Amino acid sequence: MTNTISADKIVDSILDEVKDSRFVRSIRNVQMACKDLIAKKLLLTQKSVAERISALYGGKPSRKTIDNDPKGLYKKIINAYANCNPPNKSAKTKHPTDKAKGKNGDLPLDVRMYIAQLEEQVNLLNTQLDKFYKEHTETTTLDLRQLIHETPSENGTIEVSKNNQGLSSLQREAITILTGEHEDIGGDLLEVRGELPSRQAIDVETGQVSLFSHHFIELSKLLKK
C-alpha cells in the first residue's frame, strides 16, 4: 500500500490557511481523486485528477480551475501525491477499461484513459438520446449543453430536461454562472464590481471575469418583464 503521509501533511498545511468552506471542499476533492488514482495504480496528472473529480466528485474544481490556479495549490497537491507513487516502467499498469487497448495500446496511458472516458460518454449520451426520443414528443426541445455536462447518477443515468425558451442565451449563461453550474467557472465565489452598464463579476479563485457587463444588462431586462 502506498504511503501518502507526506502528501497528506501538505494538504493539512494548506487547509490550515484556507477559510472558505467551498475551497476546502475543492481541495478535499483533489486529495480524494489523487488517492483514488494511486489505489488503482493509475497515472497522476492534472488531466487524470480533473477527470476523476468530474466523474465522482461533482466537477469541483474543474480542469480549467486547476490549470489556472494563481497560487498553484492544486498543482502542489497533485505533485505531492504523484511523488508518493512514482511510475514503475517495468510493472504492468492497470488500465481503467479494456476499450482503449488494441489499436490504442501504444499511446501514453493518460491518452488511452481519455479516449476510454470519451467512448463511455458517447455511449451514455446515445443511450439518453434514444430514451428521450422514445418518451417525449417531437415538440420538446432538448438542452444538449446541460445533458453533456450533467453528472450521471449512481445508476449511470442523466435527467433530461427541456430548454427554457423564455430566456435569451446570454440570460441562461448568466444564470448558470450565478448558480455555480457553469462549466468554465472554477471558483465558488463571485465578487461583483462596478455599476450598470459596466458592472462585472470576478471569479475569486482565478481572478478572471466571469460575468461581463452585457450579462448584467441582459439580467436587468428580466426584472423589467
Q: pLDDT, tens digit, for every residue of 3-13? A: 889 999 999 99
The pTM for the full model equals: 0.42
Nearest Cα residue to 187 out of 100, 71, 109, 86: 71
DSSP, collapsed to helix, strand or coil, labels residue 123 as: helix
Give tens-digit pLDDT for 149-175: 556 555 555 555 544 445 666 666 666
Domain coordinates in residue numbering, the chain: 5-84, 98-149, 169-223
pLDDT computed for residue 4 by the predictor: 87
